Amino acid sequence: MTQKRCGGARGFTLVEILLVVVIIGVLAAMVVPNFSGKKSKAQQAAAVADIEANLAVALDMYELDVGRFPTTEQGLKALIETPSTPPVPETWGGPYLKKKTIPLDPWGQEYNYRSPGTQNQESYDLFSYGADGVESNDDIANWQKE
């Protein structure tokens, strides 16, 4: 008995495999740079949302209850638990953040808070140092308007 190959099937040659690998590499080289910039923009958008919406709303609710914003010493922690440093608010109605935790910026660092602010002297400064973690051009702050 002899065995026959069905339909004359044969394997791929080394040249065909290398050609497919090269094509995949060229496609990856064109696509990957497009996605690398998207992550950075998404992180910046998340920081802006935290600063201008999430934390801003919580700070505004705190101010409505207490009559002023938390001091720099009390910090953002005042949004999740009654401050123990003076002036201790008598009408604290928190927690003011739904998750009862202070969010970190998209780069894993704490947001910076000052009240009264140096930029917003009537309220507070709230900012992130961005991806590099130091004061530079990539900072995201509540006093910057684009």
Summarised one tens digit per residue, pLDDT across range 3-36 is: 555 555 678 888 788 888 888 877 777 666 666 6
67-80 mean pLDDT: 96
Summarised one tens digit per residue, pLDDT across range 81-103 is: 999 999 999 999 989 998 888 99
Kindly list the strands in the beta sheet with 140-141, ordered across the sheet, starting from the edge strand earlier in the chain.
112-114, 125-128, 140-141
Tokens describing residue 53: 């919406």
Max avg pLDDT among 1-10, 30-39, 104-113: 104-113
What contacts 52, CB < 8 A, 6 or more positions away? 142
Q: In whole angstroms, what is the distance from residue 139 CA to residue 131 CA?
A: 8
Q: How far apart are the first and last CA of the chain?
A: 81
34-53 mean pLDDT: 83
Q: Which residue has the higher pLDDT, 118 or 25?
A: 118
**Among 110, 131, 132, residue whose Cα is nearest residue 51:** 110
Q: In whole angstroms, what is the distance from residue 34 CA to residue 81 CA?
A: 43
Helix (H, G, I), strand (E, B) or coil at 127: strand
- Domains (range + CATH), the chain: 41-132 (3.30.700.10)
